[in-house]
Structure 1
Amino acid sequence: MRKILFILLIPFTAFAQQVVITGQLPDSPDSVDVFVYKPIGTYFNAQYKQSLAKVSEHHFKLVVPMTTPGFITVENKYVRSVLFVEPGDYVDIGISRDGSQGRKLYKGNNAAGHELFNNETPLAENNITTTMEHVLDTAKTVNGALWGMRNTLSELKGPLLVYLRKGEISVGFYENMVTTLEGRLLFHFLTAVGNRLDKPDTRKNKALTEKEMKQLLQDAVDLFDPFDLKYTSSPAANDLVTTKCYLLRKGYLRSPAPMTDFWLHFDESSRLYAYAPSSLLEMNAGNEFVAYLTTRPVQKGSQPALFDYFRFNFPKSAYLPVVEELMTRKAK
């Protein structure tokens, strides 16, 4: 009896360890690759892509191994979707042709939430940027600017809460997308304040002094710290860390001494991350290493030495097999 039960459970268990994504791309020719960016360990991945399917008769099907929930990006020239998925999920992506050219339509798990985050809605990146610019262009006090940011967050979370109560999105989806929304809004808020400190003459709103602008930054990161580990699995992860490191280096935020010893092994552009805490060291270094191997020119002979240094510090890192594969590709 136990053997029979075990055999019956195999198909279900196998299905639960993967995510299936299908799509219809009316503009895509056949044999075009569809790429997937899946998490590296628990960290959001925006650089290491894998070709897991090809378009056939304007359709594609991806079977993505997933043992834990996380964000994946599905992308080619004709479509791009950032999806929070859980093992066992099914998502279908379509393109509307009825009065909304290019709008993405979703079916399957958490479809309503995917539509909200992947189309032109108030939660879209460019709309959040505009909203945060407006908050800072109209605020008369530090508290007024902080209230504007927090009130915006509360308003943007509203549709997600409605979907959750109606059972149209899962609890896991809701919690992770709220964290993502919070990180997205925080990034654009900090960036907008930093730009005003960098170029004070271009500011429309002169109500806040430089000292108050710096206090506003400090208060904002005290409320929502970009170095909080809860953001490391969300699409805003790298932007948040980079932005806070920049603000620390500029002296706009209070800072402990940077960890220069570790980062001296990397090139100058990467040493900004010396201002981040040790809890983010693996993610920052791993992402920089992947960036070297995928998008940046690197001095010949430096990759193996840097890889050995990274492996020595993180012998069990999820980045190691990814980096090894990328280095093998480059060597061919």
Structure 2
Amino acid sequence: MRKILFILLIPFTAFAQQIVITGQVPDCPDSVDVFMYKPIGTYFNAQYKQNVGKVVGHQFKLAVPMTSPGFVILESKHVKSVLFVEPGDYVDIGVSRNGSQGEKIYKGNNAAGHELFNNETPLSESNVAAAMEYVLDSARTVNGALWGLRNTLGELKSPLLAYLRKGEISVGFYENMVTTLEGRLVYHFLNTIGHRLDKPEARKNKALTDKELKQLLQDVCELFDPFDTKYTIIPDVSHLVAKKCYLIQRGFLRGAAPMNDFWLHFDESSRSYAYAPSALLEMNAGNEFVAYLTTRKVFAKSNHATLLDYFKYNFPKSAYLPVVEQLMTKKG
């Protein structure tokens, strides 16, 4: 009996260790590539893409190994989605020809949540940025601005909570999307304050002084620290970390002494990450190394091997190593 049970469990276990994503792309011709960006270890990845399928008959179907929850980016010529998925999930993506241009329609696990984060809704990037601009244009005090941030977060979380209560999204999806939403709000809040400090003449709201704006930055980072490792899985993590590093570098935020020696091995464009803590070194360095090998041309090919040795020395068991070595092999 135990042998029979074990055999019956094999197909289910195999299915649970992957995600299945299908898509309907009516305007896309056959043979168009479909790519996916999967997490590298536990870190969100927006640099290293893998060719995982092709469009056939205006459709595609991907069965991708996935042993732990995380965010993936699915991308082709006619559709792009950022999805939080858990092993065993099924997601179907359709592109609407009616109504909103480019609107995506989802079916399967957490469909309602995917629609919120991948269409033009109050949770979308542009609308969150506008909301934070409004908070800082209307606040009269530091506490008023903080209240505006927290109130906006509460309002934007409410549809997700409603979906959770109705059983339309999973607990894991809810928790990770709230973290994502929090990180997105904090990034745009910090970005907006930074612009006001960089260009005081452009401010609409003169109520908050430079001293108060800097205090506001410090208060926000104590409430929602961009360097908190809980954000390392979210799609906005690189922008969030880089923004706090920039604000420390400019003297707008207090921070620890920079780790300049470590980043001297990297290109100049990466060195603002010196202001991030050691807990984020592997992610920041790994993402920058992958970026050099995929999207940037500023890093001389002759330096790749030296940087690889340095990376191996500091992170001998890093999940980035197989990715970096594979990319270097492709580049010859």
Common topology (TM > 0.5) = yes
Moved over 3 A (4+): none
Question: For 1:78-115, what per-residue CA distance to the aligned partner results, in whole angstroms no more than 9, with x for missing partners?
Answer: 10100000000000000112322311000000000000
Q: Which residues of 2 match residues 135-284 of structure 1 at below 5 A?
A: 135-284=135-284
Q: What amino acid is the match of 1:295?
A: T
Distance in 2 between the 1:300 and 1:120 partners? 41
* Superposition TM-score, scaled by structure 2 size: 0.99
Distance in 2 between the 1:301 and 1:113 partners? 45
Distance in 1 between the 2:114 and 2:282 partners? 29
Any gaps of 5 or more consecutive residues in structure 1?
Answer: none
Q: What amino acid is the match of 1:71?
A: F
Q: SS in structure 2 opposite 1:301? A: helix
Q: SS in structure 1 opposite 2:219? A: helix
Distance in 2 between the 1:255 and 1:158 partners? 34
1:245 CA drift (Å):
0.3
1:3 CA drift (Å):
2.3
Q: Do the aligned partners of residues 10 and 225 (structure 1) sit closer, same or farther apart at CA in structure 2, a change above 3 Å counting? A: same
1:26 CA drift (Å):
0.9
Q: Which residues of 2 match residues 67-146 of structure 1 at below 5 A?
A: 67-146=67-146
| 1:322 corresponding residue in structure 2 | 323
Distance in 2 between the 1:303 and 1:108 partners? 42
Distance in 2 between the 1:264 and 1:46 partners? 24
Distance in 1 between the 2:101 and 2:271 partners? 43
Question: For 1:224-254, what per-residue CA distance to the aligned partner results, in whole angstroms no more than 9, with x for missing partners?
Answer: 0000011000111111100000000000011
Q: Which residues of 2 match residues 11-26 of structure 1 at below 5 A?
A: 11-26=11-26
Distance in 1 between the 2:232 and 2:255 partners? 21
Distance in 1 between the 2:329 and 2:52 partners? 19
Question: For 1:244-281, what per-residue CA distance to the aligned partner results, in whole angstroms no more than 9, with x for missing partners?
Answer: 00000000011111111111111111111110000000
Distance in 1 between the 2:100 and 2:268 partners? 45
Distance in 2 between the 1:54 and 1:249 partners? 45
Distance in 2 between the 1:142 and 1:168 partners? 38
Any gaps of 5 or more consecutive residues in structure 2?
Answer: none
Q: What amino acid is the match of 2:307?
A: L
1:187 CA drift (Å):
0.4
| 1:310 corresponding residue in structure 2 | 311
| 2:285 corresponding residue in structure 1 | 285
Distance in 2 between the 1:203 and 1:264 partners? 36
Q: What amino acid is the match of 2:301?
A: K
Distance in 1 between the 2:219 and 2:316 partners? 37
Q: What percentage of aligned pairs have identical amino acids?
A: 76
Q: What is the root-mean-square deviation in Å for CA atoms of aligned residues? A: 0.7
Distance in 1 between the 2:123 and 2:64 partners? 26
Question: For 1:265-302, what per-residue CA distance to the aligned partner results, in whole angstroms no more than 9, with x for missing partners?
Answer: 11111111110000000000000000000011221310
* Superposition TM-score, scaled by structure 1 size: 0.99
Question: For 1:7-61, what per-residue CA distance to the aligned partner results, in whole angstroms no more than 9, with x for missing partners?
Answer: 2111111000000000000111100001100000000000100010100010001
Q: SS in structure 2 opposite 1:232? A: helix
1:4 CA drift (Å):
2.0
Distance in 2 between the 1:176 and 1:47 partners? 21
